[in-house]
Amino acid sequence: MARILLTGATGFLGGAVLHQALSRRDGAEWVCLVRCTSVEQGRQRIAARLSRFTDPFTAQRLARLVEVVPGDFTRADLDADPRLDSITHVLHLAADTSWWGEERVSRTNHDGTLALARRARAMPRLARFLHVSTAMICGAEAPSLVEEAAFPSPQARHLVAYTVSKAAAETSLAGSFADLPIVVARPSIVVGHSTLGAAPSSSILWVIRAADRLRLVPCAPESAVDIIPVDWTADTLLGLLRKPQLAHTLYHVSAGEGARARWDDLMRAFAAADPAGGPRDDFTRFDLVADRALLRRRFAETFGLDGALKQAMLRAVRAYYAFCSLDLTFSNARLLAEGFAPPPSFTDYLKVCLENAPEIAEQFADDLEMFVAPEPAQGPAQGPAPVLPRTARA
């Protein structure tokens, strides 16, 4: 019987994975390493996330099927809990996605991952360690069609500390843990749910909606964005975790050339899904550096700039626009060759994402913590406030 250790169970993707897996009742045991003060508190955190995918009663029922181990994956190598010794599969989803604090992000995503890998060496039945990275480890100057084997690269120019930390973690895992059965999955941009729309999370969806409302794009209309739904992503990760034999140890979990979304297709999809928003033939292409004033003015006219929330939202729009302007597609040929189903295109499920959607600023709340400065340290050792990457400053 498979006994699966999951980190990141209380996050967007972790909730999708648990909902898919527990609903199947395939006999696997799920052990969730959760930051909590008690088992019950951890279980309720998991139930709260599951309730974004189903009704509250079912969420509580499913959460009762999970074995909760209070703990911190970044200190897993110090965790002698014997329940971890019998793990057969590890699905490592937990990460710090903040755009602030390079040192903190590195400690979590690089050092923490290595701590978990060290603990995995004490799991004698371990069959697979699936480390979930990000396709954006390729950096800002990758070719328009990105292949897995070309990255991580020490020459990559990263836009944020998050991708730096993920690239470093992959490099260290490959260099120091060849004895572990590690497979790396690199999702592209996870947005919405193909049938539930924005109910599980509005993360990043609000950016696409903001671009539609602003009528501004930082790239040519034929440029592509590689977007995938969270339910397909969860199914695919579960498949990579459990498939007995894989041809490779590294996979993009992505839309690829077959399902990527081009901006002109997105404009047409918005017009069809939201005709009240008017025709979408008035988009303006702008330069993120030369036209900063244009973006700020258009943002102020559309959303206002009153208060800290709107200021943070403008920073976030600039930051995400920097990624959208890269025109990257992540090849999923390896994934399809393994027999996994291709994802739906974002334009195919955009309408369900817009149904009963709250205001864009409200949806931004799902990503707000990524763009708000952390609380300053207390005491005389307090250092200067962290600085956002240049592309993300307001």
pLDDT band of 375, cuts 50, 70, 90? low
Q: What is the pLDDT of residues 224-255, one digit of tens each?
A: 999 999 999 999 999 999 999 999 999 999 99
Cite the DSSP H helix spans in the chain.
12-24, 39-50, 56-63, 102-106, 112-120, 161-176, 205-214, 230-242, 256-259, 263-273, 292-303, 307-324, 333-337, 346-354, 360-363
Q: Please tell me the predicted confidence (pLDDT) of residue 366.
A: 86
Return all residues near 68 (Cβ < 8 A) that are at least 6 apart: 31, 32, 34, 36, 39, 42, 43, 46
Q: How far apart are CA 365 and CA 359, in angstroms?
A: 11
- Name the packing angle between helices 263-273 and 205-214 (round to 10°): 90
Which residue has tokens 């996605």?
A: 97
Q: Please tell me the predicted confidence (pLDDT) of residue 177.
A: 98
Q: What is the pLDDT of residues 280-330, one digit of tens each?
A: 988 999 999 999 999 999 999 999 999 889 999 999 999 999 998 999 999
- pLDDT at position 385 over 50: no
Q: Please tell me the predicted confidence (pLDDT) of residue 374.
A: 54
Two tokens, residue 40: 């019950």
Report cis status (omega within 30 of 0) of the bond before 152.
yes
Two tokens, residue 15: 């909730």
